[in-house]
Structure 1
Amino acid sequence: MVSIRIVKATPKTDFAAVSQVYYDTWQSAYRHLIPADFLKQLTPSSWHPEERWQNTFLAITGSEEIVGVCSFGRARMADYAGWGELYSLYVLPQFQRQQVGSQLMDQALKRLSQTYENNYVRVLNNNLAAQKFYLKFGFMKTNTVLEDVTRFGTIRELMMIREG
């Protein structure tokens, strides 16, 4: 297992490398979960992690490679005003199942709990592995499924909540 440290993003973070983590992870993790044409139209510049640097943790190797990212903050959905939201948690495929995601999650939940009693995350409805991961951290499945109708097909996300 490789040595990883979790650090807070700063304005000087290499956000192109962070965007690449998003891109590479989406291409791998969602390959069979969302429409292929949706994935094909993405590029690393589809993401703008620099906009959330204040609420982002990075997983960094000893050689300073960014291999994971987790961002979080105030709920973006009006129905969850006053809640915290886990926006994203991505780990490069070759670093998965090595506790990197768990380390990122621990830090994000610690920070979220300083401000919010309740938190939620939106997870692809068919991403059972991610749902299982979030269950380990106290999130519970709800009956709420959000639908995003794109020109490539409908993407469905399950709401998972973690209360006080």
Structure 2
Amino acid sequence: MSIAIRPALVEDAPRITQIYVDSWNAGFGELMPPAVLDDARIARWAGDLTAGRWWVAEQDGVIAGFTGICPSRDPIDPHLGELDTIAVDPPYWRSGVGTALMNTALEALAAAYPEAILWTLANYPQGQRFYESTGWHPDGQTRADGHQLAYRQTFSR
């Protein structure tokens, strides 16, 4: 099965939102309250898709995951990139979709910034293993009373 990466479109918002909710609920389980799919969340994602740099991964013509980048929001720094979100529909976990999306995000981050940050849950080992396997390193920062950890990646130019 081949994976095709393309820019996300506003009309992808319903599918992206479904993936976000399903992957959130399956991945975070008891770590976070469940996410709910509703019209307000779809509208929020449609707005985000027009305001940032987003991509989707398609496998056999089906959107299987998505990712997006932006300038860092925490800390606010226009010279530091941020991996905003990466999410894969649970049936596509461990199929290469996440790695293909991460490679796309990292290429875009490296082209635009000397360094990038992402935030993840502190008690989320499967996410942390994935980030570390793709070159991210914990940087020691925390937020949300220690419930979130920062990971960084520096790019050579």
Report the alpha carbon displacement of residue 156 of structure 1 after superposing the two structures with TM: 1.2
Kindly indicate which of the two structures has a greater share of residues assigned to helix.
Answer: 2
Report the alpha carbon displacement of residue 79 of structure 1 after superposing the two structures with TM: 5.2
Question: Does residue 1:43 correspond to 2:37, yes or no?
Answer: yes
Instruction: Map 1:8-157 to 2 at 5 A.
Output: 8-11=7-10, 13-34=11-32, 38-39=33-34, 42-44=36-38, 45-46=40-41, 48-53=44-49, 54-62=52-60, 64-78=61-75, 80-147=77-144, 156-157=147-148
Change (3 A) 1:80 1:159: farther
Report the alpha carbon displacement of residue 131 of structure 1 after superposing the two structures with TM: 0.7
Q: Partners of 2:80 and 2:28 in 1: how far apart?
A: 27
Identity %: 24
Alignment length, in residue pairs?
151
Structure 2 gaps of 5+ residues are none
Q: Partners of 1:78 and 1:136 in 2: how far apart?
A: 24
Change (3 A) 1:10 1:46: closer
Contact kept in structure 2, 1:52 and 1:71, CA below 8 Å: no
CA RMSD of aligned residues (A): 1.9
Which runs of structure 1 show a deviation greater than 6 angstroms over 4 or more consecutive aligned residues? none
Structure 1 gaps of 5+ residues are 149-154
Q: Residue type of the partner of 1:5?
A: A
Q: What CA deviation, in whole Å up to 9, does each residue of 1:83-139 have, x standing for no partner?
A: 000011110111010110000000111111111010011011001111111112221
Contact kept in structure 2, 1:123 and 1:158, CA below 8 Å: yes
Q: Partner of 1:83: helix, strand, or coil?
A: strand
Q: Which stretch shifts more, 105-114 or 139-148?
A: 139-148
1:5 paired residue number:
4
Q: Partners of 1:30 and 1:78 in 2: how far apart?
A: 24
Q: Residue type of the partner of 2:37?
A: T
Contact kept in structure 1, 2:3 and 2:100, CA below 8 Å: no
2:149 paired residue number:
158
